[in-house]
Amino acid sequence: MTIGTGRGRGAAVGIGRRPVAMALGGVLAAAALAACSSDPTQQSSGGDTGVLNMYLYQKPKTFSPLAPNNGPDQLVMSFIFDSLYGADASYALKPRMAAAPPQVSKDARSVTFTLLPGLKWSDGKPLTAKDVVFTYNALANPATGSAQSGKFAAVDGAKELADGKAGSLKGVTAPDDTTVKISLSRPAAGLPGLIGNFPILPAHVLGRLPAKGLGDNGFFTKPTVGSGAFTFVQYKTDQYVELAANPHHRQPVSIKKAFLKPVTSDVATAQLGTGEMDLAQISPTDLPTVQKLKDVKVVTAKSPGFNRIAVNQSKARFKDARVRQALLSAIDRKGLVEKVLAGAGTVVDSSFYGDLAPSGTGYAYDPAKAKSLLAAAGWDSSAPVTLSWVPGQRDRDTAATVIQSQLKAVGVNVELKQVQADALLSSYEDKSYDLALFGGGNYATEPSTVATIDACDQAYPNGGNISRFCDGELDGLLKKADTIAEPAERKSVFQQAAKVENAKVPYLWLYNPDTIWAYRTRLSGFEPSGVPTNEVGFWDMASWKLS
């Protein structure tokens, strides 16, 4: 740009008064009109008793059971898809579309699922055992993009399907419309707990598509045919997922419409107060605020997931079990629950849940015992130990600083290290971390899934064994449990495994934070779920009602 010679000032720009005045008037009038119109709470939900507004704690990505598990996706899918089995309040397997508990043969080499008769898809087409066979084939086949194929490893023909040598899963058949038979290449009594809660997909919609790349099909961004209590209407990106009652669900659905809204937790809490939100999971720190809200009820559920610290046992100084026992004894976990969760949590001493966990063998807060165990193990207190975690969750942020001071008091020189999620995962992979604080996991419904965090062959990134713990006895017991079909005998083996795990301390178990739900009192029939990722099969939305 060049500046030319001037032709006089004051004659150039033509900005008149009238347009400015009109624009100003228009904007102010519009703002005033908007602000003075009717109460938004009446528009959003209060005026229509058939519409439920629920908080989504993150934005969903895809609605595909083939994709890697993602909490908000699972929550949406729990509305629109149904599964053969779910879990009851104590996290035991509970039939949903199945007519009976799974039948496992005595040698644990075959499993039979029986479906309820007369099931239908939301488009009115019959839902049969063929749909289950199709779904399990899609899930077991890595070519579809499935992240779940590992769970089918024990099924006959799984390897051939994975290697591309077979077009279908030989071991899964449907002799009639309500029976699914699964034959296994090795005993796997835990299979129903592994695959029973997968959402079933409609074969009449997806069955003719090629298996390769099936997971990228547009159906999974707009799954308009399902079997859950609701059908998918639309996802207004980042705003809401719109659902409508499924007229063909196996039970009558009372609520006509549901909107799942991904907003921040602050906004969700505010909207509970204004009536724009009917149901939300809240953090313990928001509890005092929410309890003061009018017409809002708060309920809690015991969660099977727990916060823990992985101890990197690929490093020599953490290999001695006495060191890990000492670290656990040096942390006042009951105090942590009181301090960071306002008491809304439980201290645990095992990755096994409920009555499988050993009783009376806890690690009470005992700094003197910790010091003595460290001395016996020849601990070098001069070398620093890093405690890494992803900041942002208030309970973990506070817990990290408390743990640092308590471990320092027994001679463990902890340095705190806040990291990005990706950096933390990277440190798992290159084995560079010392201690890592994280949470999650549900090993309650199928106890053999503890193997994914404890077994020798599940070291990260092959599996979820971040601590790189390896114990032949525990591995042996977990494998043995898979060969036993009889529930009481199986339980006894898991109890033995839990004892071994408790003594060897693969992780520093901290606490199970309770899951806290708040809902407007116009909603009834809601039973809280303690599962942090809201897996499919935990809720009975058909029994929810709005007054």
Partner 1 sequence: MAAYVIRRLLVNVLVFLLISVGIFTLVRVAPGDPVRMMVDPEQMRGGGAAFIEAKRQELGLDQPVVVQYGHWLSGALRGDLGFSYVGHRPVGAVLGERLGPTLQLMGAALVVALVVAVALGVAAAVRRNTAVDYGATVLGLAAVSVPPFFLGIVAIYVFSLKFGVLPSAGMTTPGDGGPLDQLRHLVLPGLILAFVTAGPFTRYVRSGLVDELGADYVRTAEAKGASKARVVLRHALRNSLIPLITVVMYQIPQMLAGAVVIEQVFAWPGMGQLAVSSIGQHDYPVIVGFALYVAVLVLVCNLVADLLYAVVDPRVSLR
* Residue whose tokens read 């290159």: 430
The site map against partner 1 for 437-476 (x = CB under 8 A) is ---xx----------xx---xx-xxxxx------------
How many whole angstroms separate alpha carbon 91 and alpha carbon 446?
9
Of the residues 101, 150, 207, 358, which one makes contact with partner 1 according to CB under 8 A:
150
Q: Which residue lies nearer to partner 1 by CB, 251 or 264?
A: 264
- Single out the segment in contact with partner 1 by CB under 8 A; choices: 62-70, 123-131, 202-210, 519-527: 62-70
Is residue 163 at the binding interface for partner 1, with CB under 8 A as the rule?
no
Q: Tell me which residues in 212-241 interact with partner 1 (CB under 8 A).
A: 216, 220-221, 236-240
Q: Which residue lies nearer to partner 1 by CB, 121 or 507?
A: 507
Q: Tell me which residues in 511-540 interact with partner 1 (CB under 8 A).
A: none
Residue 150: CB minimum distance to partner 1, A: 3
How many whole angstroms separate alpha carbon 111 and alpha carbon 102?
7
Q: How far is CA 82 from CA 119, 122, 140, 362, 531, in A?
A: 11, 11, 19, 39, 17
Tokens of 329: 């004894």
Determine phi and psi for 516, rounding to 5 degrees: -110, 130
Q: Tell me which residues in 250-309 interact with partner 1 (CB under 8 A).
A: 257, 259, 261-264, 266-267, 270-271, 273-274, 276
Cβ pair 529, 538 in contact under 8 A: yes
CB atoms within 10 A of CB 346: 16
Please list, in sequence order, all residues whose beta carbon lies within 8 angstroms of the beta carbon of residue 492, skipping any fewer than 6 positions away: none
Is residue 392 at the binding interface for partner 1, with CB under 8 A as the rule?
no
Q: Measure CA 126 to chain center.
A: 30
Q: Tell me which residues in 420-439 interact with partner 1 (CB under 8 A).
A: 420-423, 425-426, 429
Q: Tell me which residues in 182-201 interact with partner 1 (CB under 8 A).
A: 194
Is residue 153 at the binding interface for partner 1, with CB under 8 A as the rule?
yes
Cβ pair 519, 282 in contact under 8 A: no
Residue 352: CB minimum distance to partner 1, A: 16
Is residue 393 at the binding interface for partner 1, with CB under 8 A as the rule?
no
CB atoms within 10 A of CB 184: 23
Residue 444: CB minimum distance to partner 1, A: 15
The site map against partner 1 for 242-261 (x = CB under 8 A) is x--------------x-x-x
Residue 184: CB minimum distance to partner 1, A: 14
Q: Which residue lies nearer to partner 1 by CB, 10 or 360?
A: 10
Cβ pair 381, 409 in contact under 8 A: no
Tokens of 353: 């849940």
Residue 407: CB minimum distance to partner 1, A: 26
Crossing angle for the helix pair 394-408 and 333-341, nearest 10 degrees? 150
